[in-house]
Amino acid sequence: MAEKMPCTAVSHAVVAAVSKTDETILRLNTLLSSKAGLDLVLSALNHSSHALHYLLASSPLSSLRLAIRLWLLRRLGRDVPPPAALSPSSSSAQPPLLAFSTLISKTRFTLRLLGLVGLWKWGSSTYKSPPTDPVLRGLSYIEVPLLVIYQALENVTYLAANGVTGQALIKRTGGATNWTLWSIRAWFSYVLLQFVRLARESQLFNQREEERKKRRAEQQILTGGEKSQAEDAQIEEAARQAEIRDWRKRLVSNAAWAPLCAHWSFENGIGVPSSLTGFISLLAGLWATYDAWEATAP
């Protein structure tokens, strides 16, 4: 009987591990089944591999890896090669993590070739049912064409770079670098307008809060349905917290994208190190990726 106990415990552990793995993979499948979820996953892979490469290549970790390798060689009784043999390869080929990041980036560029269709749908719904607030309505009318310009320029540049079409047009109009810069400038303009949108939404939210407080005070005086009021208050508070969370998430994302867009909008940049672009890009989408993953929970 004593011998069966460990076997039973191991079998339960195996079953639990398989069940957890199954749940995780099914959740991942749910996330990947949507266009937004797929883009979030690819973005996370793209930027995390880029950031991880530079983290591992940093001086402290590079020295630590070298020390561990020397220790292992000595423990195995092998001859320690000269320092030149232990140093990173000087080959022109990309390191694996950067190569993977580039591959995922190209995949995202390819998937975005059809992005104008989604932008058309967004623009159509915006112009047919614009926001009631005049400031938000004006922002929407500007944001739609900005993103269309960004996506159209990116598409033509990407197709030309891969020998599909547009090479002659790009050569006659300043070259691929110029097209890429103007594409990102359109995106950067959109990001800057998002800060204006967030400021206006905050202002409107505060106005609604004042009206809500007045309305609640009036209801407490006029009605005695305390239970009903409590339930309504809970629903209202949940919606309020969701709105605040969404606003903060967009603020964090735009705060991360702004310096990167500014950097990429100039041919020589504005001083953001290449080693940090992947990390900052990862931060820009991390909150949204977390929320999307949590939404797949059973």
User: Which residues, at least 6 apart from 54, have a Cβ–Cβ distance to it below 8 Å?
Assistant: 274, 275, 276, 278, 279
Cα 10 → chain centroid: 39
| Residues 95, 232: Cα–Cα separation, whole Å | 57
pLDDT at 235: 84
pLDDT band at 90 (very low <50, low <70, confident <90, very high): very low
Q: What is the model's pTM? A: 0.83
> How far, CA to CA in Å, does 255 sit from each of 140, 191, 291?
20, 9, 18
pLDDT band at 64 (very low <50, low <70, confident <90, very high): low
Whether the pLDDT of residue 200 is over 50: the answer is: yes
pLDDT at 227: 54
| Residues 192, 149: Cα–Cα separation, whole Å | 16
Average of per-residue pLDDT across 150-178: 94
Residue among 277, 271, 269, 275 nearest 59 (CA)? 275
Q: Where are the domains of the chain?
A: 1-28, 34-86+93-294
In order, the DSSP letters of 23-69 are HHHHHHHHHHTSHHHHHHHHHHHHHHHHHHHHHHTSHHHHHHHHHHH
Note the pLDDT tens digit of each residue in 108-150. Answer: 999 999 999 999 999 999 999 999 999 999 999 999 999 999 9
User: Which residues, at least 6 apart from 279, have a Cβ–Cβ distance to it below 8 Å?
Assistant: 47, 50, 51, 54
Q: What sign does the CA torsion over 234, 240, 243, 245 have?
A: negative
| Residues 117, 127: Cα–Cα separation, whole Å | 15
- Three-state SS for 268? coil
pLDDT band at 171 (very low <50, low <70, confident <90, very high): very high
Residue given tokens 């400021």 in the structure block: 199
pLDDT at 72: 64
By CB neighbour count within 10 A (0-12 exposed, 13-18 middle, 19+ buried), where does 122 fall?
middle
